[in-house]
Amino acid sequence: MRGMGVKLGGTAFFVRMSSEIPGLSFTYLVTAKHIIEEICKPPKNGKIYVRANVKQGGATHISTSLSDWHLASAEAAEKEVDVAVMPFELDGLDFMSIPVESAATYKRIQDENISIGDEICIIGLFTRLEGEHRNMPIARIGNIAAFPEDKVRTKAGLIDAYLVEARSIGGLSGSPVMVNITGFRPPDHARPEPGVRINIFFWLGLIHGHWDTELSGDYSATEDTFNNEKLNMGIAVVVPVDKILEVLNHEKLSKERERITKSMCEKRMPTPDSTGSR
């Protein structure tokens, strides 16, 4: 991408939503809203390039524009939500997608006793070595640090967020965050049969940014930036998956899925047998 004169912005990932029709699903590219907004600030031309690996090797650059993306809006249900999504065609791409069914929603967190200390994994862009010919994402491992009851103050405003102990760096904004459910659960939680170890990943959310501490000792939640005068505190801010689902289930996107599903159902309707008139 540097050879094209394109600035690396952050990470995006695929999410898959199933439908009532077997074999039909809807795929969306998901990232942090602040990445898209930063790319489209004047005097930039507003082109947003998605670099994706292809099955036959190498990578391709797919051009999108701001109008292709659905950004969490200023509406009450989505205010200050750092999420952007767009429907995406996957033909020829070498990819993996996260099924919506794996979402660690507020309810699932309670049901599965997901708690502070549980292991998390972040997969995303390392801007110092992004891969010359293909994307080469890195994995960063950490743990859930807190489920704040209060909103978290960020440059985007007050947001609902989780905190994780992981060194989020430039390029990881928009990265998916997975939580690993192991066999070590509280005593009141349903446990597996003896000798069976639980090892399940759930989708917790996406990376918004991290806290830096200034040399003076002041600190604030920031989006991912690289600054030699700042020290990463090692606490990353995660947008909860419920907030992402709110955007994916926005009326505009829901109606489009309904339209496609209805069209597919009509195409699969049996053709009446008739001899016709003679």
pLDDT for residue 191: 52
Q: Amino acid letter at 15?
A: V
Segment 103-112 long-range contacts (CB within 8 Å, at least 24 positions apart): 103/202, 103/203, 103/241, 103/242, 103/244, 103/245, 104/179, 104/202, 104/203, 104/204, 104/205, 104/241, 105/241, 105/242, 105/245, 106/240, 106/242, 108/202, 109/147, 112/181, 112/189, 112/202
Q: What is the pLDDT along the chain (278 residues), one digit of tens a residue?
A: 344 556 788 999 999 999 888 888 999 999 999 999 888 887 666 789 999 999 989 999 999 999 999 998 755 455 578 999 999 988 889 989 999 999 999 999 999 889 999 999 999 988 788 888 899 999 999 999 999 999 988 887 888 999 999 876 678 899 999 999 876 555 555 555 555 555 588 999 999 987 764 443 343 444 444 444 465 678 899 999 999 999 999 999 999 999 998 888 877 666 566 655 44
Helix then strand then coil, % of the chain, to nearest 5: 15, 35, 50
pLDDT for residue 216: 39
CA distance readout (Å), 176 to 8, 225, 238: 17, 18, 9
Domain 2-251: give its CATH superfamily: Trypsin-like serine proteases (2.40.10.10)
pLDDT for residue 44: 67
pLDDT for residue 153: 86
pLDDT for residue 211: 75
**Cα separation, 238 vs 159, whole angstroms:** 10
Domain residue ranges in the chain: 2-251
The tally of CA atoms less than 13 A away on the side-chain side of residue 138 is 18
